[in-house]
Amino acid sequence: MSTLRMFRKKPDDLGFFGKLGFYFLLILGALVSVFPFYWMFVVGTNDKGAVFHVPPLLTVGDQFFINFKRVLEKADFFQALGNSLFVSSMVTVSVVFFCTLAGYAFAKYEFPFKNALFVFVIATLIVPQQLGVLPTYVIMAKLHWIDSYKALIVPAMVNAFGIFWMRQYISSAVPTELIEAGRIDGGGHFRIFWNIAVPVITPAMATLGILNFMTVWNDFFWPLVVLKNKEHYTIQIALQQLFTTRDGLDYGMIMSATFTATLPLLIVFLLFSRWVIAGLTSGAIKS
């Protein structure tokens, strides 16, 4: 609000054309952000030649189900969607639980080497995933986890970002007096965590959950490395497999699949977007 006053009082006020340019930029940016989603839908609902139409076709057609039928002929689309759903949910439940526990310990407990251990957790964020990918692959082979969901789930069950995120939130949102009161009443450590801390921090847990779900859902590199068998493919691998030149690129088919695969995430995001973005803007990097 005070920015408004700031702008008005200024000698170099934006003026009408300034404002016009200002909104032009904002709206242009928004259009660029959204257009590919719309384009996905346009191509997915039109016939094969739609992509090469001159001038570009911009209207929604009625060929969606015909296109999508070809997807089902070429790939176990719903199987892949189910696989992604299963893996992402398992990882998310586990990440939220373990990261909340660890974040709670770092925020509310005193123990030797606490700071050093926390710095270590943060430091692991800089290490590129690819650095350890070969030995991790070998470990998976030794465990006979190649081509199994365990290879996707177990290494991802807890992560440094989540611990950092939950610690930030818990430090400010959970009053230490409340925990002490619980302890005086003789509650066990886990009971206090579960009954006193968790109810207060569910918004942060939900945000972490959604962010994590999207990350796992969209992961490509590691599933590509460990998954071999078609029935185990996650949706990302299945999508990539549709993109072949073997019989000419059928963009109508590809985009109907891409759109269907994007839709669930898009809906979830639009439902919870305020949470996600508010969470991102409040807890992201204050430390």
Q: Which residues, numbered 9-68, are part of the site for another protein (CB under 8 A)? A: 9-12, 14, 19, 22, 25-26, 29-30, 32-34, 36-37, 39-40, 43, 51-52, 54-56
Q: Does 266 bind another protein (CB under 8 A)?
A: yes
Choose between 69 and 183: whose C-beta lies nearer to another protein.
183
Q: How far apart are CA 255 and CA 175, in angstroms?
A: 50
Asked if 142 touches another protein (CB under 8 A), the answer is: no
Among 20, 117, 119, 181, binds another protein (CB under 8 A): 117
Which one, 101 or 174, has the nearer CB to another protein?
Answer: 101
Report CA torsion sign: 187, 121, 160, 238.
negative
Distance CA 261, CA 71 (A): 12
Q: How far is the CB of 257 from another protein (least distance, A)?
A: 9
Stretch that binds another protein, among 65-73, 125-133, 169-177, 198-206 (CB under 8 A): 125-133
Q: Residue 113, Cα to own-chain centre: how many angstroms?
A: 32
The residue (of 63 and 262) whose beta carbon lies closer to another protein is: 262
We find the least distance from the C-beta atom of residue 122 to another protein, in angstroms, to be: 12
Contact (CB, 8 A) for 100 and 198: yes
Considering only residues 15, 59, 115, 274, which one is a binding residue for another protein as defined by CB under 8 A?
274
Name the one range near another protein by CB under 8 A: 65-73, 156-164, 169-177, 198-206. Answer: 156-164
Cβ atoms of residues 168 and 102 within 8 Å: no
Write out the binding residues for another protein, residues 161-200 only, by CB under 8 A. Answer: 163, 188-191, 193
Residues 69-108 that bind another protein (CB under 8 A): 98-99, 101-102, 104-106
Residue with tokens 């109508």: 252
Within residues 232-251, the interface with another protein by CB under 8 A covers 235-236, 239-246, 249, 251
Whole-Å CA distances, 259 to 31, 35, 51, 235, 268: 18, 13, 15, 12, 14
Of 90, 87, 95, 67, nearest to 233 (Cα)? 87
Contacts of 185 (CB under 8 A, 6+ apart): none
**Burial of 234: CB neighbours in 10 Å, binned 0-12, 13-18, 19+:** buried
Q: Which 193-212 positions form the footprint of another protein (CB under 8 A)?
A: 193
* Contact region with another protein (CB under 8 A), list: 60-68, 85-93, 196-204, 279-287: 279-287
* Nearest-10 crossing angle of helices 251-283, 15-45: 140
